[in-house]
Amino acid sequence: MAWMPEISLRESIRLNLIAAMEKANINQTQLADKLGISKGTINNWVRGNNSPDVDTVPKICKVLGVSVLDLYSPAKMGQRKDLKGTQTVSFCSNEAIKLAQDYDEKLDNWGRKQVRAVADNEIARRAAEIEEQKKQAPSPIEPRIVKVLYLPHPIQRASAGYGDPADDESAERVCVLHNPLTQMADYIMTAHGDSMEPDIHSGDMLLVRRQPAVEVGETGIFIHRGERYVKIFRGESLHSANPDYPDIPTNEDTRCIGRVVGTLDPDWIVMNE
């Protein structure tokens, strides 16, 4: 597998410097003497602890007989190879390489300092822009806490018709979103039939508040003669919204087991158990 271009510019300069010193047959002590600096400084460059400053680079190049491009570009020297292949990688664009050549060959020291000053200003400007963009970036959206509640859902249904058996209290639990309507309910009852249309349709999951009586005109869940109904309470009768169904007279065997407070929106269901 070819070596990937992941080393830094400092590492590139370090490798190029070592290669140039070897080519010129100059050791660290000799290079330090020729540049008038300490051997420790050269050692830091060779170890990659830091890199030569912009004013020292031309002096290094003159002593070693290389150009600035040679020192900065791995395409000239200091190329890295993988253990099996010989593919090299370039770290600089063509424009950057041409700029380095112009910097080294066509500018005097004053010109180089001006280029460096402009580059430093632009780097600082861009860094300030990035920092400002970070400040203006929208804050991460805080996760919304969703409240839920569990409501019993009897297996047997409430008849919106001529009656459904009410002899089994088995129920499953339904996890629903907590909202002003669901928090009023004690359980869910599924309607069966069309006697309460258009208000209640067969299959609707009704939210029911457990209570032993309802006001006249309210819709409730009733047990009448052993069967469960969803009807409108009229006092003396259980009324159907659909005129095709006759009223059911109430008697001592009729009892209310809850008031319908609304219909469960399927989107409010989180899961069934």
Report whether pLDDT(76) > 50: no
Q: What is the pLDDT of residue 208?
A: 95
CB-based contact 32:39 (threshold 8 Å): yes
| The one-letter amino acid at 255 | R
Q: Higher pLDDT residue, 145 or 262?
A: 262
Q: In the chain, where are the structural domains located?
A: 9-106, 148-272
The predicted-structure confidence for 80-114, as pLDDT tens digits, reads as follows 433 333 333 344 556 766 777 777 778 888 888 88
The predicted-structure confidence for 14-71, as pLDDT tens digits, reads as follows 888 888 999 999 999 999 999 999 988 998 888 888 888 888 989 999 999 998 888 8
8-12, 166-170, 187-191, range with greatest mean pLDDT = 187-191
Mean confidence (pLDDT) of the chain = 82
Q: What is the pLDDT of residue 3?
A: 41
Q: What is the pLDDT of residue 5?
A: 46
Q: Higher pLDDT residue, 169 or 178?
A: 178
pTM for the whole structure: 0.47
SS (H, E, C) the chain: CCCCCCCCHHHHHHHHHHHHHHHHCCCHHHHHHHHCCCHHHHHHHHHCCCCCCCCCHHHHHHHHCCCHHHHHCCCCCCCCCCCCCCCCCCCCCHHHHHHHHHHHHCCCHHHHHHHHHHHHHHHHHHHHHHHHHHHHCCCCCCCCCCCEEEEEEECCCEECCCCEECCCCCEEEEEEECCCCHHHCCEEEEEECCCCCCCCCCCCEEEEECCCCCCCCCEEEEEECCEEEEEEECCCEEECCCCCCCCEECCCCEEEEEEEEEECCHHHEEEEC
Q: Higher pLDDT residue, 115 or 223?
A: 223
CB-based contact 272:226 (threshold 8 Å): no
| Bridge partners (DSSP) listed for residue 151 | 174
Using CB atoms within 10 Å of the CB of residue 66, give its burial: 0 to 12 exposed, 13 to 18 middle, 19+ buried. buried
Instruction: Report the candidate in 230, 183, 233, 229 with the shortest Cα–Cα distance to residue 213.
Output: 233
Q: Determine the average pLDDT of the residues in 177-192.
A: 91
| The one-letter amino acid at 16 | N
Q: Higher pLDDT residue, 94 or 137?
A: 137
- CA 113 – CA 115 distance, rounded (Å): 5
**Largest interatomic CA distance in the chain:** 118
CATH class for the domain made up of 9-106:
mainly alpha
Q: What percent of the chain has pLDDT over 90?
A: 36
The predicted-structure confidence for 219-255, as pLDDT tens digits, reads as follows 999 999 889 999 999 999 999 999 999 999 999 989 9
Third-level CATH fold of 148-272: Umud Fragment, subunit A (2.10.109)
Q: What is the pLDDT of residue 78?
A: 38
Q: Determine the average pLDDT of the residues in 9-13.
A: 81
Report whether pLDDT(75) > 80: no
Q: What is the pLDDT of residue 1?
A: 36
- CA 92 – CA 143 distance, rounded (Å): 43
Q: What is the pLDDT of residue 82?
A: 36
Rg of the Cα trace of the chain? 43
